[in-house]
Chain A
Amino acid sequence: MSPPTPPASPPTLSAYRRREQSITLSPIEEPLEGGAETTDELLTLNFGPHHPATHGVLRLLVTLEAEIVRDVKPIIGYVHTGIEKTAEDKAYWKVIPVVERMDYLAYYFNAMAYIGAVETLLEVEVPKRAQYLRVIHLELNRIASHLIWLGTSALDLGAVSIFLYCLRERELILDLFEMSSGARMHTRYFQVGGVIEDIPSGFEPKLREFLKVMPERADEYGSILNSNEIILQRLRGTCPLDAETLLSLGVTGPLLRAAGNPWDLRKAAPYSSYEDFDFKIPVGTVGDNYDRFAVRLAEIYESVKIISQALDGLPEGPHITGDRKVALPPRHELATSMEALIHHFKLVTEGFRVPPGEVYYPIESPRGELACFVRSDGSSKPARVHMRDPSFVNLQALAPMTRGSYIADMIATTAMLDPILGGIDR
């Protein structure tokens, strides 16, 4: 399917458009008597926290002048669950399911950032097969996250059917997660030193089937949305922000790439064998809402490419490190080896100890630079776990993006910002 061309302008106006243009609007308000103009009045509007267009429990205090947004103040913390505090009270390997629940659409990424930091502290060698398996799951998760973003964003803009299509494809991904780990969300699949289990037989053909289907489906999303005049009018040219301002606000990920800066940690500072794969980084040109949409949609194709390369080149070998001090021994060894039994007991009761130090480990999540800071004091529990969540930092860009635009564009921009409140509030 070839990419659809945008609808041509004036000469070939449809009957509908001509009718629409023939409607004349009278000036909305005459100036009030006494010299004061209605437009001088500022209205403060509380938006959320329970509003479907805020993508979670985000509350925005919007200052409006008529329909123009003059300022936006995000108020957050409604789903603050103290995950960073909880993590300090758990052994290193028990922290993994806790941090996975931060950014609930990108659970593999949370686990990867945390595990990467712990592995750096421990200086554990991760087997190549485990790295490839991680890449496969990370990129599948990226697609799933982008699908939810695409579906809910389109829903905000009035396109309902695309939401159902996106969830249909996400279901395929969740089925794959269920196959490899037994859980559909928050899988605890990544472990320190590798992954918990090798992929089962039957995973590969199912994944290949998905890889075949996904680009076709993404083509369909593209052709539905790119030929939808309402979507295009609400996205094109609305709320742009240049790369320099975005950088000063700390914004990374698709939002920055939409403004033309090709910064992507998978390319710039590869981790988990990303240097082995051949993929492109989609970038936008002007950084408006349409570019943000187009960049993410294009990323789905690139993720499919990465997954198929990782699947083709999946090396043989162990799926987790053989270092018994950090990884559980295989189940069958427990019956025959005393040493394995002792290691198992030590790991399950106390956990492993990590050399003292501090590490900041950044990775590229679907929303930008997701980094985990871990400080170890030498015990078996982390002394501090901090997640630099991209949603939290990117949210600061909402006000500069939307100032001076219509309130309806603010809804579109919030959707294109892709904030995940679980990650923002942690």
Chain B
Amino acid sequence: MPDATGLELIAHDLGEAVIETVYFRERATLEIDPAAIRPTLQHLREQGYTFLASVHGVDYYPEEPRLGVIYELLDMSRVDRITVKLRLPTDSPKVDSVTNEWPTANHQEREVYDMFGVSFDDHPDLRRILMPEDYEGHPQRRDFPIGGEPVIFTYDEAKWLESRE
């Protein structure tokens, strides 16, 4: 992990794109402006963070802006990790896809889209990945009810349809 000073140096290099730096439990996190995600990751790649370990979403409900997308970068030669985080409002959760530069983000961005409804611009194949394609809603959002999913078996579904006719 870069130490607290190292994190500030990286943040200084990135300039205005950085909104906040967090150094917590010996882990460095950069919170950045969503518009600057691609140049930021590119800059960090030049600093040696060449491996994108993970992309995942978070819902910060009830805080605003609610949604978060987190990129975990890794420098394998120095064994150094840095986290890049961005926050998006729920009314237009849009951010640039990084799949072109980081092919590993493909499935992971699809999962974030599926679970949180964040849409990634220029993603080559932005479809649901874990939920059925005709599913409505984004189940990992905190206001999505747990257990609110009706379980319909084929047998019951036929009976249910019958009862409605």
Which residues of A does B touch, CB under 8 Å? 76-77, 80, 82, 84-86, 88-89, 120-121, 123, 247-251, 263, 268-269, 357-360, 362, 369, 371, 373, 375, 383-384, 386, 388, 392-393, 395-396, 425-426
Contact = CB atoms under 8 A, between A and B. Distances in A.
B15 interface: no
Contacts of A77: 128-132
B103 interface: yes
Given A371-B72, A386-B56, A392-B108, 11 more contacts: A248-B103, A269-B79, A358-B83, A360-B70, A360-B81, A360-B83, A383-B58, A386-B54, A386-B57, A386-B58, A426-B130
B104 A82 contact: no
Contacts of B142: 88, 383
B25 A357 contact: yes
Interface in B10-53: 24-25, 27, 29, 50-53
A358 B108 contact: no
B140 A84 contact: yes
Contacts of B52: 250
Contacts of B107: 392-393, 395-396
A85 B139 contact: yes
Interface string B104-134: 1011100100010000000000001111100
Given A86-B146, A269-B79, A386-B56, A247 B24 contact: no
Contact of A360 (B50, B54, B76): B54
A373 B54 contact: yes
Contacts of A269: 79
Closest 7 A/B residue pairs (Cβ): A250-B104, A388-B54, A77-B130, A80-B130, A386-B56, A268-B79, A384-B58
A98 B48 CA distance: 36
Contact of A373 (B25, B70, B111, B139): B70
Contacts of A268: 76, 79
Nearest to A78: B130
Contacts of A369: 53
B59 A384 contact: yes
Nearest to A400: B103
Given A89-B146, A250-B51, A358-B29, A396 B56 contact: no
Contacts of B146: 85-86, 88-89
B53 A362 contact: yes
A275 to B, nearest CB: 13
A388 B56 contact: yes
A84 B128 CA distance: 17
A269 B76 CA distance: 10
A397 B24 CA distance: 33
Contacts of A80: 130-131
B27 A359 contact: yes
Given A263-B76, A396-B103, A250 B139 contact: no
A250 B131 contact: no
B72 to A, nearest CB: 5
B160 interface: no
A249 B53 contact: no
Nearest to A395: B107
B116 to A, nearest CB: 10
Contact of B106 (A85, A358, A396): A396
B99 to A, nearest CB: 10
A425 B130 CA distance: 6
A80 B111 CA distance: 12
A375 B29 CA distance: 13
Contact of B53 (A84, A250, A358): A250
A405 to B, nearest CB: 19
Contacts of B129: 76-77
Contacts of A250: 51-53, 102-104, 108
Contacts of B111: 392
A121 B104 contact: no
A359 B56 CA distance: 13
A80 B58 CA distance: 18
Contacts of A392: 107-108, 111
Contact of B27 (A89, A360, A384): A360
Contacts of A121: 25
12 contacts: A77-B129, A86-B146, A88-B142, A120-B25, A358-B83, A360-B54, A360-B83, A373-B54, A383-B58, A384-B58, A386-B57, A393-B107
B136 to A, nearest CB: 15
B142 to A, nearest CB: 8
Contacts of A249: 103-104
A251 B102 CA distance: 12
Contacts of A251: 104
Contacts of A89: 146
A160 B6 CA distance: 55
Which residue among B51, B107, B146 has the maximum number of chain A CB atoms within 10 Å of its CB?
A: B107
